[in-house]
Amino acid sequence: MKTQTILLTEEQVQSLMDWKTAVRIAEELLREQGNGNVLLPPELLLSLRGRGLDSYLSAMPAYLEYLGLAGTKWGGGYGENNKTGNLPYMMQVAILSSPITGEIYSIMGSTWLTTIKTGSETALSGKFLAKSDDLVVTVIGAGLQGRASVRCWLALDELGDISVQELRVVDLNRQKSEKVAAEARDAHPGKSIEVFDNVRESVDGAHVVITATTATEPFVDRAWLRDDVLIASIGSFPEFDPQAILDADKLVVDNWEQNKHQGDFSKLIEEGKIARDDIHGELPEIVAGKVPGRESSDEMIAANLVGLASVDLSIAWEVYRRAKAEGVGTIFSFL
């Protein structure tokens, strides 16, 4: 019998997944990964910036033993899309397969999965690394990644895992911030969701600051931040003042091998100012309870979360299961 492969568009993927389910699946994956039930080799990065293109691509395979699933994600960031506005900066596709026979279960658009994955990681970092009550959370960047961070933090708040008193959104384009905030207010009526024009003002007094931008240079000054803040960077390049990272009581990554080459810690690692021994722990270890998260209310913690493909694939697996049950998608066979 021929294996049937389900092809899913971005729109179909979004219709089959919600924010609260996604963060729960992401937390399960991180726990399983922390317990050694996920195999995640370092992603293979192909940078085209030295070839005159503002693009990078990555191949990101993983084996989710607890689900009996192998898969990979392929895609990256394309600076040209920021100039035209016709396509998202991030463009991704996910492939799910049998680790036993290699049969392909599904191929699906993964740009939205990438954003919800990263948003889930930042929200879950808040559950384990932020102060516990009445959080003021600032999200810098109102693109797809920023939008996902906003929605995942509010989803985790609705689930009762964290307490968000106020959520702030800031972007160079105020119209984008307003759009993200309006959507979040509609989904979470009664929540305080404010739009700021100025980064410095938006981080003043914030307990959590998340950067989700395409910036290539730091733009958040250490002097603007509380001494008990959780800063979480999900951009591909440094976004925080290096001193903010060096001042942190704890440094957390989602995957050391990936963080050596991408994100806020990468330049400091390259300069020899951060070594593996300086890292308090990886997020999966913390979620699994093998490494403690926040241990004091006055700790300053810096998290560099470049994103784990294993999280995408765990959410993609549930999308595939729902698509199969509901008859969604285009069915075909490679054989």
The pair of structure tokens assigned to 81 is: 């899309």
With 70 as the cut, is the pLDDT of residue 2 above it? no
Query: Angle CA(279)–CA(280)–CA(283) in degrees, nearest 5?
Result: 95
pTM above 0.85, yes or no: yes
Share of residues in the chain with pLDDT > 90 (%): 80
The pair of structure tokens assigned to 238 is: 């440094």
pLDDT band at 62 (very low <50, low <70, confident <90, very high): very high
pLDDT tens digits, 245-280: 999 999 999 999 888 888 889 899 999 999 999 999
pLDDT tens digits, 221-253: 999 999 999 999 987 788 999 999 999 999 999
Q: What is the dihedral of CA 49, 53, 55, 58, to 10 degrees?
A: -70
- In this structure, the chain runs to a length of 335
SS3 content of the chain, % helix, strand, coil (to 5): 40, 25, 35
Instruction: Say which amino acid occupies 279.
Output: I
The arithmetic mean of pLDDT across residues 203-228, rounded, is 94
Task: Tell me, letter by letter, the H, E, C secondary structure of 90-147.
Answer: EEEEEEEECCCCCCEEEEEECHHHHHHHHHHHHHHHHHHHCCCCCEEEEEECCCHHHH
- Residue-level pLDDT at 231: 97
- Residue-level pLDDT at 235: 78
The contacts of residue 49 (CB under 8 Å, 6+ apart) are 55, 56
Average pLDDT, the chain: 94
- Residue-level pLDDT at 1: 56
With 80 as the cut, is the pLDDT of residue 317 above it? yes
Are the C-beta atoms of residues 283 and 125 closer than 8 Å to each other? Answer: yes
Q: What is the DSSP string of 166-227?
A: EEEEE-SSHHHHHHHHHHHHHHSTT-EEEEES-HHHHHTT-SEEEE----SS--B-GGGS-T
With 60 as the cut, is the pLDDT of residue 307 above it? yes
Q: What does the alpha-carbon distance between residue 268 and residue 196 come to, in Å, rounded to a whole number?
A: 30
With 90 as the cut, is the pLDDT of residue 86 above it? no
For tokens 């979480």, the residue is: 232
Specify the 3-state DSSP secondary structure of 41: coil
Task: Show the domains of the chain with their CATH numbers.
Answer: 5-113+310-332 (3.30.1780.10), 118-308 (3.40.50.720)
pLDDT band at 49 (very low <50, low <70, confident <90, very high): confident
For 329: left if phi > 0, alpha if psi spans -120 to 50, otherwise beta; the answer is: left
Residue with more model confidence, 82 or 200: 200
> Quick one: which of 107, 115, 116, 49 has its CA closest to 78?
49
Residue with more model confidence, 132 or 315: 315
- Residue-level pLDDT at 238: 87
The contacts of residue 234 (CB under 8 Å, 6+ apart) are 118, 121, 122, 145, 149, 210, 211, 212, 263, 305, 306, 307
Q: What does the alpha-carbon distance between residue 195 and residue 159 come to, in Å, rounded to a whole number?
A: 24
Strand partners of residue 231:
209, 302
For tokens 């404010």, the residue is: 194
By DSSP bridging, strand 250-253 and strand 5-8 are unpaired
pLDDT band at 329 (very low <50, low <70, confident <90, very high): very high
For the ranges 30-34, 86-90, 304-308, the maximum mean pLDDT occurs at 30-34
Residue with more model confidence, 99 or 112: 99
